[in-house]
Amino acid sequence: MSVLGKRLKAARAEAGLSQEALGIEAGLDPMSASARMNRYEVGARAPNYDLMVALGKVLKLPAAYFYAAKDDEAELLRLYHRLPSEARRKVLDGLRAQGNND
């Protein structure tokens, strides 16, 4: 299973969606949604970026989360994306300040 597939499967399970339901909500043909999602999750096929954006919207995650090279980076993206906008601004300000102190 690819990293993308692993994260996709975990996010889908956390959202409580079946492969078919997720695929349909993301705009896939209802007749093939389940099979296509299964192929993406097991790593047999890779979804294109536009589909990952659509899947991310359904799962309330940025597409970058699925493509992050390291698990801790993916976790940062997941947590940041779930913050309210004011908290996001504070996180960015803090990171910028930390970066300027190096």
- Domains defined for the chain, CATH in brackets: 3-100 (1.10.260.40)
Stated pTM of the model: 0.87
Which residue reads 């970066």 in tokens? Answer: 99
Q: How far apart are CA 4 and CA 58, in angstroms?
A: 16
Q: How far apart are CA 53 and CA 60, in angstroms?
A: 10
- List the chain pLDDT tens, one digit each, 102 residues: 899 999 999 999 999 999 999 999 999 999 999 999 999 999 999 999 999 999 999 999 999 999 999 999 999 999 999 999 999 999 999 999 987 776
